[in-house]
Amino acid sequence: MKAWQHYAAVGLGSALGASLRYAIALAMLGPVFPWPTLLVNAVGSWLMGAVAAVATQRLHSRVARWQPFLASGFCGGFTTFSLFGLETLQLLNEARPWLALGYMMISVPLWLAAAWHGYRVGQRLAIET
C-alpha cells in the first residue's frame, strides 16, 4: 500500500468509527452515567486488541493489510479517551464525585480487560486460520 493510501484508509476508518460512536451516543442519551463512552471504549479496546494480535501473528493476512483502516482509523475514531476525561469532569462539576470516581474505577480496568481479551481471541483466530 502506498503512503497516501494509508492516510486515506486511516481517514476513512476514523470518519466511520467516529460516526458510529456519535450514533451510539445519540441512541443512548438520557442516563446520568456516561454509558455510551464506557461501551464504545470497551468494544473498541476489544477490537483493537484482536486486530493487533491477528496482524502481528499473520503479517501477510488481510487483517494486517487492513490494519491502518481498522486500528488507527476505525478504532481510533470509535474510541475516545478525551470524552472520558470530559465526562468525568462534568460529573465532578455536577457535584457527583462518587459517580465520577466509580466511572474512573470501572472504565480503565474494563477497557484494559477488553483489550487483553480481544488480543487473546485474535491470537487464537490467527492460529486457527
For the chain, the DSSP string reads --HHHHHHHHHHHHHHHHHHHHHHHHHT---SS-HHHHHHHHHHHHHHHHHHHHHHH-TTSHHHHTHIIIIIIIIHHH--HHHHHHHHHHHHHTT-HHHHHHHHHHHHHHHHHHHHHHHHHHHHHHHH-
**Cβ neighbours, 10 Å, residue 93:** 9
Query: Would the annotation count 79 as a binding residue?
Result: yes
22 alpha carbon, distance to own chain's centre? 13
> 118 among the known binding-site residues?
no
Binding residues: 76, 79
Binding residues for Na(+): 76, 79
